[in-house]
Amino acid sequence: MHDELIIGIDLGGTNIKGALVDSGGHIISKQKAATLANTGPRAVAERISRIIGDLESQAAAAGKKVAGIGVGIPGQADQTRGTVFFAPNLHWRDVPLVEYLRSRTILPVYLENDANAAALGEQWLGAGRGSVNMVMITIGTGIGGGLILNGSLYSGTNGSAGEVGHMVIDPDGPLCSCGQRGCLETLTSATAMVRMAKEAIDQGKKTILAREENLEARDIVMAAQAEDKVALLIIDVAARYLGMGLGNVINLFNPDTIVIGGGVSKAGDILFEPLRREAVKRSLEAPARVVKIVPAELGNDAGCIGAAKLVLLTAD
Ligand SMILES: [Zn+2]
CA-wise closest residue to 248 among 149, 125, 162, 141: 162
- pLDDT tens digits along 225-260: 999 999 999 999 999 999 999 999 999 999 999 999
CA of 42 to the centre of ligand 1 (A): 28
Q: What is the pLDDT of residue 2?
A: 58
CB neighbours of 225 closer than 8 A, spacing ≥ 6?
267, 268, 270
Percentage of residues in the chain with pLDDT exceeding 90?
88
Would you state the pLDDT for residue 316? 60
Query: Residue 170 C-alpha to ligand 1 middle, in angstroms?
Result: 11
Q: Please enumerate in sequence order all residues whose Cβ is within 8 A of that of 214, keeping only pairs 6 or more positions apart, or say none.
A: none
Strand, helix or coil for residue 22: coil
Is the torsion defined by CA of 71, 313, 117, 251 positive or negative? positive
Query: Who has greater pLDDT, 33 or 263?
Result: 33
Q: What is the dihedral of CA 105, 108, 112, 116, to 10 degrees?
A: -120
Distance from residue 167's CA to the centre of ligand 1 (Å): 7
How many whole angstroms from 176 Cα to the centroid of ligand 1?
5
CA distances from 1 to 152, 255, 261 (A): 20, 31, 30
Per residue in 123-165, pLDDT (tens digit) is 999 999 999 999 999 998 889 999 999 999 998 887 889 999 9
Q: What integer best gives the mean pLDDT of the chain?
A: 94
Dist CA 69 CA 56 (whole Å): 10
pTM: 0.92
Ligand 1 centroid vs 177 CA: distance in angstroms? Answer: 6
**Model confidence over 293-313: pLDDT tens digits?**
999 999 999 999 999 999 999
Q: Is the pLDDT score of 89 beyond 90?
A: no
The structural domains of the chain, ordered by start, are: 5-121+301-315 (3.30.420.40), 130-296 (3.30.420.40)
